[in-house]
Amino acid sequence: MSSPRQRIAVAVTGASGSVYTKVLFDKLVQLRDQTDRIGVVMSDNAKYVWETELGDSSYAGYPFEFYGKNDFNAPFASGSSSYRTLIVCPCSMGTLARIAGGISNDLITRAADVMLKERRRLLLVTRDTPLSLIHINNMKTVTEAGGIICPASPSFYSRPQTIEQIAATVVDRVLDLAGFDIQTYRWKE
């Protein structure tokens, strides 16, 4: 049974882990039958990190609607929009802190604020280690506000063989949490 088509927003910050974003983008392309619109906002640092880690600027070639980091006319910047999910992948500790503090200084943090205030899905794929108590308290605050912290902590039950397969163990979990009907490794199934 397929899930209803949804509008989803993806925000990409400058945290290391562009492979997670690439795998997420690739899987969202494959899930186009379950989406109506996919909106993307990338920080300048996100683009720089992608180019540094993956060696290209292929993010620009995906068939999504891209918005500038300060484009508050993006539909998911308002609670009146029909976007029901925001995935921040990867989510830097700075972005996490601004979200936890309710600081909407760009489209990423504004969209996160909208998801929380409207009681919609906010998934933060945090990618940092070790964590300070400040990071942990920010995660607690976002969780108490209704967000989901989904650390980029891969699993190895499925015996992944490539970096992309390792990243997919996290991305598949995120897509599950976002309500997509996906084919993925299931423990003991």
| 14-58 confidence digits (pLDDT tens) | 999 999 999 999 999 999 999 999 999 999 999 999 999 999 999
Q: Kindly give, in sequence order, each residue whose CB lies less than 8 Å from that of residue 5, ignoring residues fewer than 6 positions away.
A: 33, 34, 35, 36
pTM: 0.95
* Domain annotation covers residue 186: no
* Domain annotation covers residue 1: no
* Domain annotation covers residue 189: no
**What is the domain-level CATH number for residue 97?**
3.40.50.1950
Instruction: Give the tens place of pLDDT for each residue, 138-160.
Output: 999 999 999 999 999 999 999 99
Host domain of residue 173? 6-177
Place of tokens 């945090």: 126
Read off the pLDDT of each residue in 121-126 and give the average, rounded to a whole number. 98
Q: Could you give the number of structural domains in the chain?
A: 1
* Domain annotation covers residue 150: yes
Q: What is the pLDDT of residue 189?
A: 74
Q: What is the pLDDT of residue 1?
A: 45
Integer-rounded Cα Rg, in Å, for the chain is 15
Q: What percent of the chain has pLDDT over 70?
A: 98
* Domain annotation covers residue 187: no
What's the pLDDT band for 187 if we cut at 50, 70, 90? confident
